[in-house]
Structure 1
Amino acid sequence: MGDAQIVVGYDGSPDAAAALEWALAQAHRDGRAVRLAYVFEWLTVAGWIGPGMTPGMWPDEQARQQVEELVRKAAADAAAAHPDLTVGGEVLDGPPALVLEECSTQAGLLVLGSRGHGGFAGLLAGSTAVSVTAHAHCPVVVVRRDAPSGTRAGHVVVGVDGSEHSLLALGFAVEQACLRRVPLHVVRAWQPGREQWTGDAPDRDAVLAEHAAELDEQLSRYREAFPDVEVTVEAAAAAPAGLLIDASRNAQLIVVGTRGRGGLRGMLLGSVSQQLIQHAHCPVAVVRER
């Protein structure tokens, strides 16, 4: 797989179909090839059910052929509908999370559905999507079928707290806003610490103004490099996850880093990105350093 490819975790589920739809729209913007990856795993667990199987059966060659045909047809249909794109597919063997993480070492972008078929048979059960976003070596976009469209109207939102990971997310978000020709909305959440219960509580308006000024400073290089991208800044006293989920309502993409500063001050904790994967109203991009 080439470095510029968009890899889509695909198992034929509705969420995987939504992920493929998103990836194809993205490929039209940035000119990348798209490759579907089905991770084929059989476990010797009582009650395990795979494609073409019933409980108590062992996997056979016919089951694998069905999987290969599923991927071949999905890739062929996508290529026929998008003749200007390069679309292919493959079946890989092993634990889904580990295999997809390995795929990410050679991909430019990894796109997943938030859930697969469910149970052991689901390629992209929620736990797999969360694990891959935490450990992938390239940006990961998680798409739910109720918010799949790569052409959805709205702006790009990014959560920034000044940490290294959030600044990587900011760079990715600016590029996406430029590609999509939409505004960028930069969000920073602040939650008072223990001082709010003492007489030393900081002035809320002053603190928020300070955070907004810091965001403006961090954005200066991007405003110069991407002068056509309209940028707005929001600093709010709120829980990070709730603020970002609310911001996703009118967005076509929300971008976060894998982790922030930690503690209550952290804007982009792992738990926040996980909550976005489950509850955001648009696709979620999770960015980390390669």
Structure 2
Amino acid sequence: MKAIPVRHYGRWISAVLVLALLGLLINAFATAKVHYSAIPDYIFDGTVVSGLGKTVLISLLAMLLGLVLGIVLAVMRLSKNPVTSSVAWVYIWFFRGTPVYVQLLLWFNLALIFPYINLGPIYRDEMSDFMTPFVAALLGLGLNEAAYMSEIVRAGIQSVDEGQTEAAHALGMSQGRTLRRIVLPQAMRVIVPPTGNEFINMLKTSSLAAGAAQYLELLRSTSDIGQTTGATVEMLFLAATWYLILTSIFSVGQFYLERHYARGSLRTLPLTPWQKIKVNLASFSNRPSGGVSA
């Protein structure tokens, strides 16, 4: 018997249409009045690199603040104490229900409501000196992220079977130790994937700090160069290029982190990109040249 493959004409037609549309799109950008040579000229400019570093810094710190506070809020929501549970619910309701841009504006203009910050003997200063663009961006992004991270952590904790907690209590472990040693390690495989997505989203959301809090991150730095040189669109393309590079790098890190916490729950771990390449090369080299016959 000679095996005859089934011809899928619809696939060929759809592939031709997609390639035609892609060609039209590439031709439109290639013939547009855009000076693409300006992008590599400024890609490692000092102002752009400085803004890039501030974007990564504010994203990391805001995500860390959101993660720590999110864990606290998740534990509070799961608490049997009605006061702590209600306070956590109100926090999440407020920060998830208002736009992050509005929150950034409120933090940056907080001096209009409270001229001074007074923490007693610990710290006292004028609000305008304390609420710098960096602090306003950190609080605005971090506190908003905490509301979303609390729901992610709560879902991860609830995904762990209650029998695990009961067994730990039967062995004499306290509630806090059970959470740290038993529940959270198992919940990480549920928490890590959406947390990685949240961090990638944070990298892009940090651009809002440029307009709301006057924070000189990547978008603000490239926009300033575009206004002075007249290459406005080119600098926007440059900012988009750096955002794509950052998200690609952190996406690779997210993959390996998910793969690490998948141990024990999967029979075989997913292949790494290099392993996939080796498997595909091996299957291609071992593929028989003739047809199938019997």
TM-score normalised according to structure 2 size: 0.23
Q: Greater share of strand residues, 1 or 2?
A: 1
TM-score normalised according to structure 1 size: 0.23
Task: Report which of the two structures shows the higher radius of gyration computed on alpha carbons.
Answer: 2
Q: Greater share of helix residues, 1 or 2?
A: 2
